[in-house]
Structures are given as structure tokens and as C-alpha cells.
């Protein structure tokens, strides 16, 4: 049995391993146990950022102009819908489709490429879980307790047991 | 065991996250006064980064492990294999990064993704052939009732090329980061030291497999060829699995 488990593990670990690290900063407003709005900021690691900024910042002014941001949104960010934006929202044990992100912005901060966006969906905190991770494990989503800013409820961050990739879970209590 | 694996995975990810951040900050901090000592520090970190990076999923550890399950070898061979893979890995990453960067300077990432996909498919086909070859060798050895399969250096090189030809995006990212900051030599040296670290981890996978092979081989005694055929089949499945997964992306 041990051998079989080892072989299964070896098969799974062949695939990918994190090459990009994205820090997730969620800001959540809760009123009467209902989530009113969620604002996310993703900060990519400096090495990945340098590679992407080189491509995105076409006029090399170290800023992402509106046209450049539009290009990122259309060609890169939007395609993450296939990956549910690396965020599974589970309501009553059922994974929901990630709502269409609004107010997307891309900017450079301390040599890091950052994405900022919002989702507006009324959710009851009692039955809702946010799981961050990439099942392909090419990207590691990093969520520390201090990254989550929640008003009207308490944020609980825990490790996500995904069996073969690593992620984080955010619960509101 | 799954829980242990999850914890291990978490530690590997967190260490890489910290080392990745440390390397980028340190490379940026290089100036005329501290260039030698800082560069040396970066190379040491790159080595550690490679060591841990290869401990995570990927890098042909499964292929190497299966290969040594199907071939009676000594530890020296496992080291040789680990380092052959890491040398090919480093060369492949350097050629891809510098090549794509200078030939197709814009749209870098998109082209890298495409090139990486092609390289992965080539690698998968090669892995399939290695699997078929090993099964054939094991079958042949059974027929002539030999206890040991004659170790072929040809298959060793085939395994090393199959596993190493896919350039490691981790190495490529460091090299590219150095190129962007115009630290070309440091980029090359960091790719080499990171690959040395990875080679060590891959070698350990081979050594563990040899240890297992020795125990199981004694147990199976004259039926050792069964293990060898299983090893070959696993490599073959791995190749098919890899090929179909690349095709889906």
C-alpha cells in the first residue's frame, strides 16, 4: 500500500510546482452577517513581476497606463476565469462560479506587479468559505492573517488541505 | 501520510516564497561597493533555492526513481544521472531565456509558454520511448534468464535528456530577472548554482529508488525482471500522461 501511495504521489508531483507567488490582500465589508463587498489586491513576486512588467509596460515609463491596463485585462486577467481566479467560493459545500470582477486596475508598487479588483455579491458569512490556490500548482497563492482586512466580522485564515497542492482558506466569523 | 505530504509541501512552498523574495531583493541591492560579496551570497541562496525547488513537484524525480527501479545501479550512477539532468536543465533554461529574450524581446511570456509546451511534448515522447526501451530490455533479459539487465549508457542519456530538456521556469525567471537588471554573468552563474542544487535533490530521488530496488530485488530474487518491467511501464505511463496533459493546455 505504501508503495502505491508513493507512486501516486510521485505521479502527482511530476506536474508543476510554484514558480510564481501571489500575495492576496482581501478587504471585506460585512454588515449583519452579510458580505457587502470584497476588494482584492494581488501582489506578484518581484521576479515574476519584472518579467511581466517588461511585457506590459510597452512605453517603459514604469507605470501602467490605461491602455496598458486594458491590454492586461483583456489578454491576461480575463483568461483567469478558466481558473476561477484561483479563488473558490464555497457556499453550503458547493463551489460557486467566481463573480465577474469589477473595477480592475493594474499597477506597479515597489517593483511588484499588482492587480486590484472587486466583486459584488451578497453572501452570508455563515456558510461561505474562500479557498485560494492553483490546482495546477504553477502559482502559489499566499494569504497571511495580516493580509486580510475585514470589518464587521473576524477573519480566520487556515491552511487548505488540497491533498496535492497547497492553498489557504479564509472564513469569516 | 497524506497529511505529512501536505505539511511538507507547505514548508517547501513557504521556503521558496521566502528565498524567491530574498534573491530578488539581494540582486537589486548589488552596487559597486558590495558586488562581489553580494553576488557570492546570491549564488549560495540560488543553490539552496534549487535544492528546495527540486524537492517540490516536478523535475523528473519520478522518471529517475522509476528508471532506477527498473535498473540495478549503484549510488554513483544516481548522482551522475541527477547531475546530467541538472546540466541539461541549466543549458536548456539559459538557451531558452537568452534566445527568446533576444530574438523575441516583446511578447516574451506568450512565446515562452508556447516554446515550453513544445519542449514538454518532445520530453513526453522521449519518456515514452525510454519506457518502451526499458520494457524491451527487461523482456529480453527474462528470455535469456539473466539476473541483471546490462546497463546501457544510451538509456541513461535518454532519461537525462527527457527529464532535463524542459527548461525550469524557476531558473528561467532568475536568469531573466538578472538580464533585466543587466547582471548577465550573475544570471548565468545563478542558473548553474541553482541547477547544482536541483541535481543534488534529483540524485537523492535516484538513491532512494536504488535502496528500494535492492530490498525488493532481494525479495523477488529471480523474479526481479517483474520489477524492471513495472518500472518501464511506469515510465511509459508517465510519458503518455505528460503528453496528454500538455495537449490539453
CB-based contact A42:A21 (threshold 8 Å):
no
Which long-range contacts link B221-224 to residues 24+ away (Cβ below 8 Å)? B222/B147, B224/B72, B224/B147
Chain B residues whose CB is inside 8 A of the A46 CB are: 20-21, 24-25, 28, 177
* pTM, two decimal places: 0.68
Q: How far is CA B144 from the centre of its chain?
A: 34
Predicted confidence (pLDDT) at residue B206 exceeds the cutoff of 90: no
Q: What tens digit of pLDDT does each residue of A27-68 get?
A: 999 999 999 889 999 999 998 888 788 878 888 888 999 999
The reply to whether residue B57 touches residue A2, judged by beta carbons under 8 angstroms, is no
Predicted confidence (pLDDT) at residue B104 exceeds the cutoff of 80: no
Predicted confidence (pLDDT) at residue B98 exceeds the cutoff of 70: yes
The dihedral through the CA atoms of A59, A62, A66, A68 has a sign that is: positive
State which of A122-126, A157-161, A168-172 shows the largest mean pLDDT.
A168-172
B245 touches chain A (CB under 8 A): yes
H/E run at residue B121: helix B108-143
> Which of residues A64 and B140 earns the better pLDDT score?
A64
Q: What is the mean pLDDT of chain B?
A: 72
Residue A55: which of B23, B60, B106 has the nearest Cβ? B106
Lowest mean pLDDT among A9-23, A151-165, B64-78: A9-23
Sheet strands (E) in chain A = 20-31, 34-44, 87-91, 94-96, 102-109, 112-119, 123-124, 128-132, 139-142, 149-151, 155-161, 166-172
**If you count residue pairs, one on A and one on B, with CB atoms under 8 Å apart, how many are there?**
109
The confidence score (pLDDT) of residue A106 equals 96
B26 touches chain A (CB under 8 A): no
Chain A residues whose CB is inside 8 A of the B51 CB are: none
Query: How far apart are the C-alpha atoms of A131 and A134, rounded to whole Å?
Result: 10
The dihedral through the CA atoms of B249, B111, A48, B10 has a sign that is: positive
The confidence score (pLDDT) of residue B118 equals 58
CB-based contact A122:A35 (threshold 8 Å):
yes
Residue B57: which of A16, A46, A54 has the nearest Cβ? A16
Amino acid at each position: 500500500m505504501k508503495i502505491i501511495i508513493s507512486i501516486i504521489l510521485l505521479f502527482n508531483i511530476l506536474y508543476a510546482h510554484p514558480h510564481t507567488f501571489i500575495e492576496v490582500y482581501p478587504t471585506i465589508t460585512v454588515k449583519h452577517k452579510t458580505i457587502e463587498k470584497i476588494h482584492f489586491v494581488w501582489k506578484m513576486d518581484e521576479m515574476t513581476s519584472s518579467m511581466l512588467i517588461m511585457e506590459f509596460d510597452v512605453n517603459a515609463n514604469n507605470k501602467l497606463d490605461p491602455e496598458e491596463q486594458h491590454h492586461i485585462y483583456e489578454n491576461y486577467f480575463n483568461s483567469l476565469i478558466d481558473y476561477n481566479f484561483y479563488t473558490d467560493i464555497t457556499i453550503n459545500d458547493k463551489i460557486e462560479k467566481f463573480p465577474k470582477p469589477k473595477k480592475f486596475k493594474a499597477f506597479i508598487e515597489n517593483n511588484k506587479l499588482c492587480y486590484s479588483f472587486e466583486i459584488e455579491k451578497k453572501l452570508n458569512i455563515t456558510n461561505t468559505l474562500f479557498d485560494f490556490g492553483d490546482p495546477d500548482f504553477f502559482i502559489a497563492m499566499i494569504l497571511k492573517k495580516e493580509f486580510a482586512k475585514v470589518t464587521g466580522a473576524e477573519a480566520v485564515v487556515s491552511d487548505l488541505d488540497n491533498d496535492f497542492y497547497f492553498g489557504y482558506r479564509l472564513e469569516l466569523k | 501520510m497524506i497529511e505529512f505530504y501536505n505539511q511538507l509541501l507547505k514548508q517547501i512552498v513557504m521556503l521558496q516564497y521566502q528565498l524567491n523574495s530574498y534573491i530578488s531583493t539581494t540582486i537589486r541591492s548589488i552596487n559597486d561597493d558590495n558586488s562581489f560579496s553580494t553576488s557570492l551570497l546570491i549564488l549560495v541562496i540560488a543553490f539552496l533555492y534549487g535544492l528546495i525547488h527540486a524537492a517540490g513537484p516536478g523535475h523528473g524525480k519520478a522518471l529517475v526513481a522509476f528508471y532506477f527501479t527498473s535498473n540495478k545501479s549503484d549510488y554513483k550512477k544516481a548522482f551522475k544521472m541527477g547531475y546530467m539532468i541538472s546540466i541539461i536543465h541549466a543549458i536548456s533554461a539559459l538557451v531558452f531565456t537568452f534566445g527568446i529574450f533576444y530574438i523575441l524581446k516583446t511578447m516574451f511570456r506568450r512565446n515562452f509558454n508556447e516554446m515550453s509546451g513544445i519542449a514538454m511534448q518532445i520530453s513526453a515522447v522521449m519518456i515514452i520511448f525510454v519506457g518502451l526501451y526499458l520494457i524491451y530490455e527487461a523482456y529480453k533479459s527474462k528470455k535469456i534468464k539473466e539476473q541483471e539487465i546490462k546497463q546501457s549508457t544510451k538509456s541513461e542519456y535518454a532519461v537525462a535528456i527527457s527529464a532535463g530538456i524542459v527548461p525550469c521556469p524557476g531558473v528561467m525567471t532568475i536568469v531573466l530577472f538578472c538580464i533585466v537588471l543587466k547582471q548577465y554573468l550573475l544570471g548565468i552563474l545563478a542558473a548553474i548554482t541553482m541547477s547544482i542544487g536541483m541535481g543534488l535533490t534529483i540524485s537523492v530521488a535516484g538513491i532512494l529508488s536504488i535502496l528500494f530496488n535492492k530490498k525488493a530485488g532481494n525479495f523477488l530474487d529471480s523474479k526481479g525482471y517483474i520489477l524492471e518491467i513495472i518500472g518501464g511501464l511506469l515510465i511509459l505511463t508517465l510519458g503518455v500522461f505528460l503528453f496528454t496533459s500538455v495537449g490539453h493546455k
